[in-house]
Amino acid sequence: MPRQQSPGYPNMSLQKAIDRVRKIHDADRTAEIDRETAAIHLGYSGLSGASDKAIASLVHYGLLERGGKGLVRVSKMAVDILHPDSPAGKRRALVEAAFHPQVFRSIKERFPHVPSEPALKSWLVRENFQDRAIGPVTQAYLDTCRYLEQEEVDGSGGPSAGEAGESSSMQPLEGSATTPKVGDYVQWDSGGALQFEKPRRIRWVSDDEAWLAVEGSDTGIPMTEVSIEKPPAPPSGVRVPPEGGMTPPPAPPSPNTLKTQGGERPPFKVIQEGAKIHVEAYDLNASSLARLRRKLEKYQEILEMDTDEDEEEGDL
C-alpha cells in the first residue's frame, strides 16, 4: 500500500518567517542571491537540510521568490510587510502572506474562522496528511492566525484555495530533505539554532514517524526539526557503518598487531594451496628475509617435483 503524501507546508509561523526574511533584506535588499548566501544570512554555515527547510518556508509564505537558476530574492510582498507605505498596505500584505501556502488556503476555505486544535487535526487526518506533518501544520497555522490577531489584522478576507495558483511556493527546492530513517545522519534545528556540532546518526524512529533519537542520546527529537545531512568523514582507519543502523563488527587487527599463542608473531607465514603458495610477511629484517628466501626455495623444489610427477603420470 503506498504511503500517504502530505503537500508541502511551512515549518514555522508567519511571524518567524518575517523575522528571518528581514535578515536577508537587511543584507542584500531585493537583489538576487544564491541559496547558500541566503542560508548564511539566516545564520547557517552554508547549505544543509536545515537551511533548505528554512528557505522553503519563506518561499511557501511568498516572502522569497525564485530568480534565475538557483537564485532567490526578497519579494515585493515581504517589502510591503517590512517597510509598508501605509498600515493598510501592511495588513493586506500580511493576509496575503498568511494564506499564500496552499495548505493554509485549504484550511481557510474549510474553516472560515480559526478552528480549534482538535478540529484542525481531525480534518488533516481525513485529508490523508501523514501523522508527522499534522502537528507542524497545525502549530504553524494556529500560530500564524494568532499573529494576525496580535497585529489586529482581519484574516477573513484571505484568498481561498481556488484563488491564485500556488506559483513557486509549492515547488520543492533543490536539495530538499526526504523523510529521515534509522541510519541517516541528521542535523537538529530547534528555534533556528543548530543543536549538533556535527550531524548525528539516527538510532530510533517512532512508529508514527513523529519522533526520533540519535546515537549517544536518549532525547526525543521532533521529526519536523531535523534534516538529513551527509555523513561526517570518518577518522582514518575507521570503517563506515552500513545503512540501516547496524553497528559493524570491529575491523580485524592489522598484521602489525598479530601475535602467536607464544606471544610474538612470526615475521612471515607461507601456506601452500595446491600448486600455489601464499606468503604473508611483516617487517622483515635481513635475518628473517634470508630465512624466507631459503623456505621459498624449498617450496619451489616441492612444487617442481609435484609438476614433474603429474607430467610423468600423464605420459603413462
Domain range for 215 is 185-229
Q: Is residue 124 part of a domain?
A: yes
Q: Is residue 180 part of a domain?
A: no
Please indicate, yes or no, whether residues 77 and 201 belong to a single structural domain of this protein.
no
Q: Is residue 253 part of a domain?
A: no
* pLDDT, tens only, 68-82: 778 999 999 999 999
Give whole-number Cα distances, 307 to 66, 270, 313, in Å. Answer: 76, 19, 10
By three-state DSSP, how is residue 71 classified?
A: strand
Domain count of the fold of the chain = 3
Q: Could you tell me the sign of the dihedral formed by the alpha carbons of 211, 213, 217, 218, in that order?
A: positive
Please indicate, yes or no, whether residues 90 and 195 belong to a single structural domain of this protein.
no
Q: Is residue 244 part of a domain?
A: no
Q: Are 143 and 13 in contact (CB under 8 A)?
A: yes
Q: Is residue 40 part of a domain?
A: yes
Please indicate, yes or no, whether residues 85 and 153 belong to a single structural domain of this protein.
yes
pLDDT at site 307: 62
Q: Say which range, 67-71, 94-98, 189-193, 285-289, has the weakest mean pLDDT.
A: 189-193
Please indicate, yes or no, whether residues 76 and 25 belong to a single structural domain of this protein.
yes
Q: Is residue 112 part of a domain?
A: yes
Q: Please tell me whether the overall predicted TM-score, pTM, comes out greater than 0.85 for this model.
A: no
Please indicate, yes or no, whether residues 61 and 113 belong to a single structural domain of this protein.
yes
* pLDDT, tens only, 21-31: 999 999 999 99
Q: Is residue 116 part of a domain?
A: yes
